[in-house]
Amino acid sequence: METVELTGADKAARYRELLPQLAALLDGEPDLIANLANSCAALRECVTAASWIGFYVARGDQLVLGPFQGKVACVRIALGRGVCGTAAAERRTLIVPDVEKFPGHIACDAGSRSEIVVPILRSGAVVAVLDLDSYALAAFDDIDAQGLAPIVELLGTLAW
Ligand code: SME
């Protein structure tokens, strides 16, 4: 995946544009896997700083790899482990500017330098997390967190 740096204003605008596109893409389609796969592809077009974008779906006390764009990744992550498992357990978005400084970070791709993980909630329960990685340090910030918030809210309405 190519990585391109955008200014903050550009990033915010891109997320704003993505939301109605995604809503249109998901509208009328009940299949969860198809919707997650297309959401991932749409996010990839939008978030040019990302080297990997994908979903980990909550299954009991684990997160299991779902649709993604990027290199082959680890399949199962225990709740509370790694950035994904921590974000799910704490039900909050985690922005990790330097993955080497996050204790317990799970390195699926040795090239990854920074990461953002956003939990997806349905009826108050974590049904999945959306994970974005980058080969650049500090690729993600509050603008990404704010831009992704309405997107995961929309994804939370899918048929989990
Ligand atoms: N780095 C994540 C694991 C998933 S991969 O980045 C695709 C983590 O620490 O949870």
* φ and ψ at residue 34, rounded to 5 degrees: -60, -45
* CB distance 116 to ligand 1 below 6 Å: no
Task: Give pLDDT tens digits along the chain (160 positions).
Answer: 556 667 778 899 999 999 999 999 999 999 999 999 999 999 999 999 999 999 999 999 999 999 999 999 999 999 999 999 999 999 999 999 999 999 999 999 999 999 999 999 999 999 999 999 999 999 999 999 999 999 999 999 999 9
pTM over cut 0.85: yes
98 in Cβ contact with 28 (< 8 Å): no
Query: Does a structural domain hold residue 160?
Result: no
Are 155 and 130 in contact by the 8 Å Cβ rule? The answer is yes
> Quick check: is 40 in a domain?
yes
Residue 120 lies in a domain: yes
Predicted pLDDT of residue 2 = 56
Counting the structural domains of the chain, the total is 1
The residue written with tokens 């592809």 in the block is: 41
Q: Give the distance (Å) from ligand 1 centre to CA of residue 38.
A: 21
Q: Does residue 32 line the site of ligand 1, with CB under 6 A?
A: no
Phi, psi for residue 117 in degrees, rounded to 5: -130, 125
The separation between CA 59 and the C-alpha centre of its own chain, rounded to angstroms, equals 17
Q: Does the residue 136 lie in any domain?
A: yes
Q: What share of the chain is helix, strand, coil (3-state, %, to 5)?
A: 40, 25, 35
For residue 124, the domain's CATH number is 3.30.450.40
Asked if the structure places residue 1 within a domain, the reply is no
CA dihedral 87, 90, 91, 95 (to 10 degrees): -40
Q: Give, for ligand 1, the residue of 53, 77, 98 to mutate: max count of ligand atoms closer than 8 Å to Cβ.
A: 77
For residue 102, the 8-state DSSP code is S
Specify if 3 maps to a domain. Answer: no
Domain assignment present for residue 56? The answer is: yes
Q: Which domain holds residue 57?
A: 8-155
Tokens 């990997």 belong to 52
Query: Within a domain: residue 21?
Result: yes
Specify the DSSP element, H or E, that contains 91: none
| The length of the chain, given as a count of residues | 160
Using the mean position of ligand 1's atoms as its centre, give its distance from the Cα of residue 132 in Å. 9
